[in-house]
Amino acid sequence: VQLQASGGGLVQAGGSLRLSCTASGRTFSNYHMAWFRQPPGKEREFVVVFSSRAGGTIYADSVKGRFTISRDRAQNTAYLQMNNLKPEDTAVYFCAAGNRPWGDSSIVRPSGYYYWGQGTQVTVSS
């Protein structure tokens, strides 16, 4: 089972990027798909989680209205569209998949996920 994240890069403040996370080895249709990020020198932090089975999406307050998660089941891929990027969005972004109960607090913590991608660097210049 592997998750492959891609799409990071260098962008100016106010710009956009779209990250992709492709799963291989199994289908993740019954799993939550999430994005976390780890800014330089900081802990890994929650960005967004989506569950097609639960029909829900949770965004961190810091990205609400700017980031959008989506999923292509046929391609077994999750996307993170990031608009109006800010320098404080600079981080290594990780995708993750897990199946903890939707109402469980662990779904917004790294400990709630079994599978992780390798991370992709996003750098936003001011």
Alpha-carbon span 44 to 65, nearest angstrom? 21
Token pair belonging to 53: 């089975």
At 73 the pLDDT is 79
How many angstroms separate the most distant Cα atoms in the chain? 40
Pairing of strands 2-6, 17-24: antiparallel
Report the chain's mean pLDDT, rounded to a whole number: 93
Res. 1: pLDDT tops 80: no
Under 8 Å between Cβ of 107 and 53: no
Model confidence at 91, in pLDDT bands (50, 70, 90)? very high
Mean pLDDT, residues 103-110 = 94
pLDDT (0 to 100) of residue 85: 98
Average pLDDT over residues 49-55: 87
Rounded to 5 degrees, what angle do the CA atoms 50, 53, 58 make? 25
pLDDT at 122: 98
CB 75 within 8 A of CB 87: no
How confident is the model at residue 103, as a pLDDT? Answer: 87
DSSP-derived secondary structure letter, 26? S
Q: What percent of the chain has pLDDT over 70?
A: 99
13-91-82-64 Cα dihedral, nearest 10 degrees: -100
Q: Which has more pLDDT, 31 or 58?
A: 58
